[in-house]
């Protein structure tokens, strides 16, 4: 496992609950993670949350349920 893997997991936990939180880049600690959500067209209760560093471009994606979505 890469050393940054645990940092990405911690960042994802924070940004899953508070997408506007300021979280440092898990890769280089050179910027902050910017969040962008894309809701699935065929299932509006699910989405992908993109986490992207505003400096180095490092990124990761979380699959999650849309908060407060009606099933």
Mean of per-residue pLDDT scores for the chain: 94
Q: Kindly report each contact of residues 11-14 with a partner whose C-beta sits within 8 Å and lies 24 or more positions away, as own/partner.
A: 11/51, 11/60, 12/51, 12/60, 12/62
Per-residue tokens: 18: 């508070």
What DSSP character marks residue 32? B
H or E stretch covering 56 = none
Cα gap 37→55, rounded to integer Å: 19
Scan for tokens 């407060």, then name that residue: 68
pLDDT per position as a tens digit, 11-32: 999 999 999 999 999 999 999 9
What SS3 class is residue 51?
A: strand
pTM of structure: 0.88
């Amino acid at each position: 496992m890469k050393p940054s893997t645990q940092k990405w997991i911690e960042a994802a936990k924070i940004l899953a609950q508070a997408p506007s939180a300021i979280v440092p880049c898990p890769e280089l600690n050179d910027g902050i993670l910017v969040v962008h959500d894309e809701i699935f067209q065929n299932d509006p209760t699910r989405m992908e949350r993109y986490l992207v560093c505003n400096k180095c471009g490092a990124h990761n994606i979380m699959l999650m349920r849309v908060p407060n979505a009606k099933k």
